Structure 1
Amino acid sequence: MDWSDEGIFLSGKPLGEANLIAEVLTLEHGRHLGLVRGGQSRRIRPTLQPGNLVRVTWRARLAEHLGGYTVELMEAHGARALDDPRVLAAIGTIAELVKLLPERDPHPELYATTLHVLRSFAEPDIWPALMVYWEFQLLQELGFGLELTSCAATGATEDLLYVSPKSARAVSREAGAPYADKMLSLPQFLIDSSAPLAPSDIAAGFALTGYFLERDVLTPHGLKLPDARGRLLDLLQREPHAA
């Protein structure tokens, strides 16, 4: 059996001296592994860089087998990571967190957002916010989405300023004021695409998604947030608008 699909190369694990087990987030077949023969060669190595958009053809005798990939480069996003350590950390974060998705389970909306993030790396004022939104969407795909459309206490849809750490729902300024020190900040760009993108808002966004990723997804399985994510947050704090 075989299929052809587009996908984002995530990582590769050497197998022997020449081959590589490639992990690719594909549009129609989800996170999928396959053997690339000669994948460690100089010829194909530039194609198999994390973040690159590739066209893959997968072949195997049975569906449950590892199978083999043939790979063709479509867009070389990984090259930008060589010049920007923030981009390198962002790609590493995506590659690690996407492993939380079940293998071979398609998630086309998250795939589209991932590709949007990769294509935005030339816009350093924008892509960090898109990374926050990517984590927000990942939580949804994993079944732990945040409810940010109305206040958990009053039902109000205006002046939403907080997120309850217990219910994962938005809370208005008035309802949350008595408990402000216990609330998580709600960055406005998550509910209003026209809101400004200050570094403090980006930091608040990562704090928000990180809290629920740890509480609901990672900690119950003895896992932790990727080291690459910690590096990314540190770099964004030191150089929020690096080109």
Structure 2
Amino acid sequence: MQWTDDGLILGVRRHGETSVVLELFTRAHGRHLGLVRGGRSQRLRPTLQPGNTVRAVWRARLDDHLGAYAVEPLASRAGRLMERADALHGVAHLAGLLRLMAERDPHEALYETAEIVAEHLDDAASAPALLVRLELAVLSELGFGLDLGSCAATGATEDLVYVSPKSGRAVSREAGAPYAEKLFALPPFLIAHGPNAAPTEDDVLAGFALTGFFLASRVWEPRGLKPPDVRAAYLKGLLALAG
């Protein structure tokens, strides 16, 4: 068995004295593990860092074996990500989100989104909103996508400002007004036909509150997981900057 694919590095773990098991989120083969012989060498160590993108050739005798990777760098961004605490928390959270996908289950659209997010994690102006979008994409890929295109009560596509915690659907200002305290705010940047203005800090925090609720109630809690500490650390840093 053999294939070649591009992959975003999620993590590595030591295997023996000189090798590592590399965890990639690949474009066409999903989250996939493989052995990299000599992966702890000075030559390969800078390449095999979370947040980098590599081209990988995977070989195994049988499809269900661990197999071995041969890799070459495509995007070496880990060095600059390590210079910022928020970027480090961001790449760890990105990896945790992608690990929610079943191993070897392809999610090509999610891969493309994750690549964009990884490339901008050290950009404090754009990274937070991109991470919110990634969380939405993960919910969608897991079958829990939110319907933010029209009002759940009236079908209207204008003036959508709330999201129902029960249905995960958008609600218009007029229809949601009597229940506003029980609804989540829908930040404009998450509406497909919304304004093109850059999201404010309050918009981004509202986005994280929205996605965090649905990730907790529909993904983490049913799997017996707690919201990841690294997400909380990222949000703590975001709040500190906002304050």
TM-score of Structure 1 vs Structure 2, range by shorter chain: over 0.9
The equivalent of 2:218 in structure 1 is: 216
Instruction: Provide the C-alpha distance between the structure 2 equivalents of 1:40 and 1:230, rounded to a whole number of angstroms.
Output: 31
Is it true that 1:102 corresponds to 2:109 in the alignment? no
Is it true that 1:71 corresponds to 2:71 in the alignment? yes
**What letter matches 1:68 in structure 2?**
A
Aligned residue pairs, count: 241
* Alpha-carbon shift at residue 122 of structure 1 (Å): 5.1
The equivalent of 2:202 in structure 1 is: 200
Identity %: 52
The equivalent of 2:125 in structure 1 is: 125
Pairing 1:62-211 to 2, within 5 Å after superposition: 62-121=62-121, 123-191=123-191, 192=194, 194-211=196-213
Unmatched tracts of structure 2, length 5 or more: none
Cα deviation 1:111-159 (Å, max 9, x = unaligned): 1111111222353211211110011011100000000011111111111
The equivalent of 2:50 in structure 1 is: 50
Contact 2:59–2:68, Cα closer than 8 Å, also in 1: yes
Instruction: Provide the C-alpha distance between the structure 2 equivalents of 1:49 and 1:80, rounded to a whole number of angstroms.
Output: 12
Instruction: Provide the C-alpha distance between the structure 2 equivalents of 1:64 and 1:136, rounded to a whole number of angstroms.
Output: 31
* Alpha-carbon shift at residue 181 of structure 1 (Å): 0.9
* Alpha-carbon shift at residue 195 of structure 1 (Å): 3.2
**TM, length-normalised to structure 2:** 0.96
The equivalent of 2:22 in structure 1 is: 22
**What letter matches 2:69 in structure 1?**
Y
Instruction: Provide the C-alpha distance between the structure 1 equivalents of 2:202 and 2:73, rounded to a whole number of angstroms.
Output: 37
Instruction: Provide the C-alpha distance between the structure 1 equivalents of 2:195 and 2:137, rounded to a whole number of angstroms.
Output: 15
The 10-residue stretch of structure 1 (232-241 or 195-204) with the greater mean CA deviation from structure 2 = 232-241
In 2 relative to 1, CA 78–240 (structure 1 residues): closer, same or farther, beyond 3 Å? farther
**What letter matches 1:104 in structure 2?**
R
The residue matched to 2:147 in structure 1 has which SS?
coil
* Alpha-carbon shift at residue 239 of structure 1 (Å): 2.3
The residue matched to 1:91 in structure 2 has which SS?
helix
**What letter matches 1:130 in structure 2?**
L
Contact 1:97–1:226, Cα closer than 8 Å, also in 2: no
Contact 2:90–2:121, Cα closer than 8 Å, also in 1: no
Cα deviation 1:178-203 (Å, max 9, x = unaligned): 11111111111001260331111111
The 10-residue stretch of structure 1 (162-171 or 78-87) with the greater mean CA deviation from structure 2 = 78-87
TM-align CA RMSD:
1.3
Instruction: Provide the C-alpha distance between the structure 1 equivalents of 2:88 and 2:82, rounded to a whole number of angstroms.
Output: 7
Instruction: Provide the C-alpha distance between the structure 2 equivalents of 1:129 and 1:151, rounded to a whole number of angstroms.
Output: 23
* Alpha-carbon shift at residue 171 of structure 1 (Å): 0.5
The 10-residue stretch of structure 1 (101-110 or 121-130) with the greater mean CA deviation from structure 2 = 121-130
